[in-house]
Amino acid sequence: MMSEETLLSVKDLKVHFPLKKRALTGAKSFVYAVDGVNLKVNKGKTFGIVGESGSGKTTTALAVMRLVPITSGAITLGKFRLDQLQGEELRRARRHMQIIFQDPYSSLNPRVRAGAIVREPMDLMNVGEKSERVDRVAELFRQVGLRPEQQALFPHQFSGGQRQRIGVARALASQPDLLVCDEPVSALDVAIQAQIINLLRNLQDELGLTYLFISHDLGVVQYICDDIAVMYLGKVVEQGDRISLFKKPLHPYTWALLSAVPSADPALRGKKDRIRLQGDPPSPIDLPSGCGFASRCPFAKPICTMETPQLRTIDKGHSVACHLVTDEGVSPQQQV
């Protein structure tokens, strides 16, 4: 059996945004958006990052793309140390990583025709021969399920799903190694969501793409991702392959996220063991001591507010940051 090749490696990534001082003598404060994240994304696979709003998942993706300043940490994409690149070197490396944005309405220039939008990355990054780019754009339109003659239309002449297909085609134009998908279907109708997700899966099979997939929708993540990291308050609290994470969630926060997924089964909707979280996450400006989830966790004990739990491996490929999970992998919700 061949060992899997790591395409993207993120080590101890921190993104702290400084805030303005309230007074001349006031201490400088920070928003701890991402606070020590470690990830490995294998070539040809889809790695998902999930969490509620404010968990730091999108900031992690933007840091990988070098679209927000990095406080510290190492980001390696293939042969590139992205965190060390600047200027022209960083511009050349961008060809190897592209992003599909959340909103298909605001991410396309309304004054530019669809064909020119898709071609622009090739011109900016000097991808392929100029004489071949017209045919390449037509091929990209076909690959994402659009007709080549639609290149002459403006974004407002497309539906939301079609606009996102243009966004996918634009991201593929530079033939990237890594495609970052920042909640690419959350602004679309459910039926259109399924079409775009199926498109992404088909393109991955056809082109051997690698995805870093950001979402708050666990149903989507379960369908498309191979490995998943659950983030809370800037940290990864649980990480594992899709089957183990959904079959045996260890962290109470993961369990709460899974129990909140809507179900069409009346028996499941009325289950008594579902967690209903109370309150909001603590402020990322003034982080609490210990576990960031302790104030909302129904199983919290004194140690949870005093010591920060470290991410530790329980089973092969399954890690968790929780004091209350036993070394044998018994979660606190199972111990009750």
Contact 96, 102 (CB under 8 A): no
Residue 334 lies inside a defined structural domain of this protein: yes
Residue 5 lies inside a defined structural domain of this protein: no
According to the model, what pLDDT value does residue 2 have? Answer: 41
According to the model, what pLDDT value does residue 1 have? Answer: 37
Residue 104 lies inside a defined structural domain of this protein: no
Residue 78 lies inside a defined structural domain of this protein: no
Q: 231: which 2 tokens? A: 């983030």
Q: 97: which 2 tokens? A: 């990583």
Per the structure, the count of domains in the chain is 1
State the pTM of this model: 0.91
Q: CA 139 to CA 103: how far, in whole Å?
A: 24
% of residues, the chain, pLDDT over 70:
93
Contact 235, 36 (CB under 8 A): yes
Tell me: pLDDT of 13 over 50: yes
Q: Is 117 left (phi over 0), alpha (psi -120 to 50) or beta?
A: alpha
Q: Would you give the distance in Å from CA 91 to the centre of its chain? A: 22
Give the domain range for residue 305.
248-336
Q: What's the average model confidence in pLDDT over 296-313?
A: 92
Residue 288 lies inside a defined structural domain of this protein: yes
Residue 53 lies inside a defined structural domain of this protein: no
Quick one: pLDDT band at residue 53, thresholds 50, 70, 90?
confident
According to the model, what pLDDT value does residue 332 have? Answer: 87
Residue 297 lies inside a defined structural domain of this protein: yes
Mean pLDDT score of the chain:
89
Q: Residue 226: in which H helix or E strand, if any?
A: none
Q: What's the average model confidence in pLDDT over 16-28?
A: 75
Tell me: pLDDT of 111 over 70: yes
- Check residues 268 and 195 and name the one with the higher pLDDT: 195
Helix, strand, coil percent values for the chain (each to nearest 5): 35, 20, 40
Q: CA 245 to CA 238: how far, in whole Å?
A: 8
pLDDT, tens digit, for every residue of 170-219? 999 999 999 999 999 888 888 889 999 999 999 999 999 999 999 988 88
Tell me: pLDDT of 103 over 80: yes
pLDDT, tens digit, for every residue of 114-127? 999 999 999 998 88
According to the model, what pLDDT value does residue 333 have? Answer: 84
Residue 263 lies inside a defined structural domain of this protein: yes
Distances (CA, A) of 325 to 16, 88, 162, 238: 29, 47, 45, 11
